[in-house]
């Protein structure tokens, strides 16, 4: 499989292999990498198979010859072994035809583990083969940070720097990042929003000498490997519910558009997805686009579901590229305009096409709390606020009650005890993996929203770079 940039698309010289795009993260022209074509699934062959086997079948065509088949197989088997549920990504039926897909059984209790536990060893493997090293930089709205730190800690060929918006993530999320004692990982709080953090990361990537000296790389969902790994649980869930004979619907709580784009990718690979609901919180730029046709930036507002407090959804560019008929030139022009004016241009035909592919629903904090309280009343089950956004949207925007609807549960309730307490007066039970967190010392680093300050910190702490 070869990959192209969403801002290039045409010139054959720019085609890249899997290991190249894994290490690069973002394309040099500022675009995101996408596969040149969609491999097609055979869901009927996956029925009853363990998660790791489904993961291998789904990802193998994307990897190409970057790894030997038995090496890749071993990495996958090892990656999902520490997950605490035997099904890895189990389905829970809430009522007839309505399900939760539980994606919080990994080491840091959010769905980000499902991709990052795979990507850490994948980086190691590819870097060892190339005798290379990288500096991974990223922005986190809360859960990517801890999942990436957990996946990369103490890896000899990786230094990791994670920017997070100060005071805008939950205390559990912060402690999961700042209490890890590994010398190669650094969590840095920035005075600003998630979008500010993400902008800083993009600016570092645009700083060509810095990018070159530090071999910058990314594990945010701009990295195609993240999306690839996330396709797997959509396939596993659909097959468990009767695909390919039966169609299926998903409601996905959305911030950076990565997770719901992975569901779309599964559909492009032939998974019979009847409806795909983009569920947003009050930061509803995506819901406004799908429902009203214009994508205009607003301020980022804090909500009960902080991992979705985002306005600029990076992965939307991958969808936009398709809406333009894979025109790199049109995509590049549109995203330049978005950056300059805060409004993304879309023709009526592009909007129409987008609406055929996605439904969208906005869930405010009141409805989020009411959903947490209702599900607790009905089934004595606690769900986290992000999962509640998905569930509320699933119930409100569902088109066909005959099609099984799966709300994607992206985090464990214990990551957001304050929100759960506010919704139903109950404190979620603390799972063993979080039990120690309060007692561990934190390593706190705070920097201004300033490119020079952050590059300076990385220069001083990365093991790669100008000193070599
Ligand atoms: C990251 C995250 C989301 C949003 O996922 P995107 O891929 O950014 O759309 C939703 N819920 C939780 C718990 C998250 O950590």
Lowest-pLDDT range of 185-189, 245-249, 429-433: 429-433
The CATH number for 87-109+224-424, chosen from 3.40.50.2300, 3.40.640.10, 3.90.78.10, 3.40.50.1100, is 3.40.50.1100
Lowest-pLDDT range of 26-30, 226-230, 314-318, 389-393: 26-30
The answer on pLDDT for 276 being more than 60 is yes
- The DSSP code sequence of 169-221 is S-HHHHHHHHT---TTEEEEEESS-HHHHHHHHHHHHH-HHHHHHHTEE--ST
CB 149 within 8 A of CB 179: no
The answer on pLDDT for 468 being more than 90 is no
Distance from residue 134's CA to the centre of ligand 1 (Å): 25
Q: What is the pLDDT of residue 8?
A: 87
What is the arithmetic mean of pLDDT over 276-292?
96
User: Which residues are 275's β-sheet partners?
Assistant: 249
Give dist(CA 344, CA 409) in Å, integer: 30
Q: Is there an atom of ligand 1 within 6 Å of 202 CB? A: no
Q: Read off the tokens for 275.
A: 């409806």
Q: Is there an atom of ligand 1 within 6 Å of 410 CB? A: yes
Q: Is there an atom of ligand 1 within 6 Å of 412 CB? A: no
CB 122 within 8 A of CB 291: no
Q: Is there an atom of ligand 1 within 6 Å of 145 CB? A: no
Can you say how many angstroms the Cα of residue 260 is from the centroid of all Cα atoms in its chain?
Answer: 9
Per-residue pLDDT tens digits for 96-106? 999 999 999 99
Which has the higher per-residue pLDDT, 202 or 10? 202
Which secondary structure element, helix H or strand E, spans residue 359, and what is its range?
strand 359-362
Q: What is the pLDDT of residue 9?
A: 59
The pLDDT-based confidence of 12 (bands split at 50, 70, 90) is low
Pocket test for ligand 1, best of 32, 102, 107, 259 (most atoms within 8 A of CB): 259
Per-residue pLDDT tens digits for 42-93? 999 999 999 999 999 999 999 988 999 999 999 999 999 999 999 999 999 9
Q: Using CA positions, which residue lies closest to atom 2 of ligand 1?
A: 307
The answer on pLDDT for 352 being more than 80 is yes
Question: For the whole prediction, is pTM greater than 0.85?
Answer: yes
Q: Kindly list the distances between the CA atom of residue 417 and the CA atoms of 172, 174, 408, 424, in Å, as whole numbers in the listed order.
A: 9, 13, 19, 11
State the catalytic residues: 112
Distance from residue 19's CA to the centre of ligand 1 (Å): 25
CB 328 within 8 A of CB 321: yes
Give dist(CA 397, CA 275) in Å, integer: 10
Per-residue pLDDT tens digits for 295-344? 999 998 999 999 999 988 999 999 999 999 999 999 999 999 999 999 99
CB 108 within 8 A of CB 151: no
User: What is the residue-averaged pLDDT of the chain?
Assistant: 95
Per-residue pLDDT tens digits for 376-422? 999 999 999 999 999 999 999 999 999 999 999 999 999 999 999 99
Distance from residue 256's CA to the centre of ligand 1 (Å): 7
């Amino acid at each position: 499989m070869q990959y192209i940039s969403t801002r290039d698309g045409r010139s054959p010289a720019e085609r890249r292999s899997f290991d190249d795009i894994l290490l690069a993260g973002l394309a040099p022209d500022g675009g995101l990498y996408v596969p040149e074509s969609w491999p097609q699934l055979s869901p009927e062959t996956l029925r009853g198979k363990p998660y790791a086997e489904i993961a291998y079948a789904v990802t193998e065509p994307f990897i190409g010859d970057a790894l030997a088949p038995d090496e890749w197989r071993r990495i996958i088997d090892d990656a999902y072994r520490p997950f605490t549920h035997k099904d890895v990504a189990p389905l829970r039926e809430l009522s007839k035809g309505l399900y939760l897909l539980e994606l919080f059984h990994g080491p840091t209790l959010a769905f980000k583990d499902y991709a990052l536990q795979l990507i850490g060893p994948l980086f190691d493997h590819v870097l060892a083969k190339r005798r290379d090293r990288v500096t991974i930089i990223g922005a986190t709205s809360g859960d990517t940070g801890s999942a990436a730190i957990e996946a990369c800690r103490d890896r000899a060929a990786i230094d990791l720097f994670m920017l997070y918006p100060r005071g805008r993530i939950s205390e559990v999320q912060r402690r999961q990042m700042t209490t890890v004692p590994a010398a190669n990982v650094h969590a840095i709080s920035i005075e600003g929003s998630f979008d500010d953090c993400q902008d800083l990361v993009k600016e570092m990537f645009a700083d060509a000498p810095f990018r070159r000296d530090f071999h910058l790389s990314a594990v945010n969902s701009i990295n195609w490997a993240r999306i690839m790994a996330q396709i797997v649980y959509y396939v596993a869930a659909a097959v468990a519910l009767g695909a390919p004979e039966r169609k299926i619907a998903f409601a996905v709580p959305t911030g950076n558009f990565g997770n719901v784009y992975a569901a779309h990718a599964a559909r492009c690979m032939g998974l019979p997805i009847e409806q795909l609901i983009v569920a947003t919180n009050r930061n509803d730029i995506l819901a406004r686009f799908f429902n009203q046709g214009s994508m205009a930036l607003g301020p980022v507002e804090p909500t009960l579901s902080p991992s979705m407090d985002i306005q600029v959804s990076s992965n939307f560019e991958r969808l936009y590229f398709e809406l333009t008929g894979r025109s790199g030139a049109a995509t590049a022009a549109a995203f330049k305009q978005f950056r300059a004016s805060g409004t993304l241009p879309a023709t009526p035909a592009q909007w129409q096409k987008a609406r055929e592919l996605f439904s969208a629903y906005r869930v405010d904090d009141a409805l989020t709390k009411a959903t947490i309280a209702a599900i607790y009343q009905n089934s004595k089950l606690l769900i986290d606020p992000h999962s509640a956004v998905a569930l509320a949207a699933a119930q409100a925007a569902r088109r066909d009650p005959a099609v099984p609807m799966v709300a994607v549960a992206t985090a464990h309730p214990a990551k957001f005890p304050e929100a759960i307490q506010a919704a139903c007066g109950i404190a979620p039970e603390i799972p063993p993996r979080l039990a120690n967190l309060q007692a561990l010392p934190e390593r706190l680093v705070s920097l201004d929203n300033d490119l020079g300050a952050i590059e300076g910190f990385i220069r001083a702490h990365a093991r790669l770079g100008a000193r070599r």
